[in-house]
Structure 1
Amino acid sequence: MSDRQPFDLKAYVQDIAARPCFICGLARNDPAFFHHRIFEDDETIIFLSKYPTLPGYCLVCPKEHLEDLAQDISTDEYLRLQEKVHLLSRALKSTFDAERIYVLSLGSQQANSHVHFHVVPLPSGMPLEEQQYHALMAEHGILQIPDDEMAEMARRVTAAYHSEIADRC
């Protein structure tokens, strides 16, 4: 695994609080919000994080700008979204030989308010003190993965994701 590089969290927080929703921009195919996509349908978009702390770090989001998991999403919509989280978890586990898959819903009304789930494979053999929240915190640095490697990673995860869909049928 690549070494983590320092991440300017203060600049990132200022940026996300001042700019339009990056998930909506990505869903509209705005090139300013490019991310490597894994899967997309009418309701959902899945893509690699631009600021990964671990290889294969993905986000799963409804395409529609919804902000409150408890009030804006019906039970059926939530279950369809979670089915995709589960399929992605299986794809990431097989692609990265992950010990565990972390799933979190983060964001706030001040920034990144669009509902989204972080789905992250924990590499096997990672020391305990570098697992859990430590593994996910950009404050401990992010991976600088070249674009061609991100594209290849996206291709591998996409293939595994589609294999999971086929196995489900």
Structure 2
Amino acid sequence: METCLTCLNLSGERRISPGPYIYQGTHWIVDHAYPTTHLGWLVILPKRHIEALHELTREEFQELAEIEYRLLQVMHTDSSVLKEYMMCFAEGQGFAHVHIHVVPRPVDLPAEIKGPRVFALLAVDAEHAIPAQEITAFCEEFTRKLQALP
């Protein structure tokens, strides 16, 4: 069986993001994707290992919908964000565990990386990624904004 990097991340055995979790709910965790050159690229992770969306319970879907709503409300407060992308493939090596990418699409995103080509912003090694301290500061600030929503 292939090693699940998401499960290792969730257990704390091998964290992916250098920042703290943005949200920890009953069924879901929100983390910052890493490495990346795109600040604000969030990933929603189910706490239990599942490999297809149809495996989610009604309760997990209900919490997911609320998280997605809240994340998008906070992202939308940034005037540089035109819209938001949400994607779920769970097909990458080591990443069969369902995870939902929530990506702020800036006004000035180059045409060559719009839509699914935005994943080019994850095709970077740690040396060329956003520095860990910036990710941490972003996660802490985003968490504060999320908690301040009514």
Q: TM-score, normalised by structure 1?
A: 0.74
- Structure 2 gap ranges (5+): none
Deviation at 1:144, TM superposition (A): 1.3
For residue 26 of structure 1, what is the amino acid of its counterpart?
N
Deviation at 1:63, TM superposition (A): 0.5
Contact 1:96/1:121 (8 A) holds in 2? no
Q: What is residue 102 of structure 2 aligned with on the other side? A: 119
Give the number of equivalent residue pairs.
146
* 119, 130, 141: which one aligns with 1:156: 141
User: In the TM superposition, what whole-angstrom CA distance separates every residue of 1:8-36 from its partner, at most 9, and x where no partner exists?
Assistant: xxxxxxxxx95x32222222222x22422
Q: Are positions 1:45 and 2:38 aligned together?
A: no
Deviation at 1:74, TM superposition (A): 2.0
Contact 1:45/1:63 (8 A) holds in 2? yes
For residue 41 of structure 2, what is the amino acid of its counterpart?
Y
User: In the TM superposition, what whole-angstrom CA distance separates every residue of 1:115-148 from its partner, at most 9, and x where no partner exists?
Assistant: 1100000112223333212222357657611111
Deviation at 1:84, TM superposition (A): 0.6
User: In the TM superposition, what whole-angstrom CA distance separates every residue of 1:37-96 from its partner, at most 9, and x where no partner exists?
Assistant: 1111231110100122422001001101111111x1123321211221221122122246
Q: What is residue 112 of structure 2 aligned with on the other side? A: 129
Q: What is residue 66 of structure 1 aligned with on the other side? A: 50
* 86, 92, 97: which one aligns with 1:103: 86
Identical residues among aligned pairs (%):
21
- The 3-state SS of whatever aligns with 1:56 is coil
CA distance in 1, matches of 2:97, 2:139: 22
CA distance in 1, matches of 2:103, 2:88: 12
Contact 1:53/1:136 (8 A) holds in 2? no
Q: Are positions 1:146 and 2:125 aligned together?
A: no
- The 3-state SS of whatever aligns with 1:112 is coil
For residue 66 of structure 1, what is the amino acid of its counterpart?
I
- Structure 1 gap ranges (5+): 1-16
Larger radius of gyration, structure 1 or 2? 1
Q: What is residue 11 of structure 1 aligned with on the other side? A: none
